[in-house]
Amino acid sequence: MKSTKQQHRTLHIWRYFLIVVIAIVSFTQLGWMYQDDTVLVPVRVEKGETIWHIAAVAAEDGSDVRGVVQSILTANHLANNDDIYPGQILQVPVIAQRADYVTTTFTGDK
């Protein structure tokens, strides 16, 4: 009788161990699966430019510019009411496929 209880307990321990291992692997795989391909592109602010203008250039076609504005503010540790000034270098998060376009748009190398 004791060996049956011991086997039952051992089986439960192995089940919990297997569940924990599966959970760890699943969460790790999900983390790898949802890595974005965002890169930071340095952009020198020119006279008259706004974060909204920069975000409009950096945004993917059909995406919400407000999200890009927020990404720029976060990447540069800026608040919503912070001013930007000519000559300031902003790190602009963009998808890797759009990095060359954003760089050439702001440097004038067309």
Residues 52-68: pLDDT tens digits?
Answer: 999 999 998 888 999 99
* Model pLDDT, residue 89: 96
Same domain, residue pair 42 and 94: yes
Nearest to 40 by CA among 110, 90, 107: 90
Same domain, residue pair 20 and 70: no
Q: pTM above 0.75?
A: no
Domain count, the chain: 2
Same domain, residue pair 8 and 59: no
Same domain, residue pair 23 and 76: no
User: What percentage of residues in the chain have a pLDDT greater than 70?
Assistant: 89
Same domain, residue pair 71 and 91: yes
Same domain, residue pair 68 and 96: yes
Which CATH number does the domain housing residue 94 bear? Answer: 3.10.350
Same domain, residue pair 64 and 95: yes
Is it the case that residue 2 has pLDDT exceeding 70?
no
Going from the C-alpha of 16 to that of each of 26, 71, 104, the distances in angstroms are 15, 41, 55
Same domain, residue pair 50 and 5: no
Amino acid sitting at position 4: T
Same domain, residue pair 27 and 42: no
Q: Which DSSP letter does residue 63 get?
A: S
* Model pLDDT, residue 47: 94
Same domain, residue pair 23 and 56: no
* Model pLDDT, residue 110: 43
Same domain, residue pair 65 and 48: yes
> Could you list the residue range(s) of the whole structural domain that residue 91 is in?
38-107
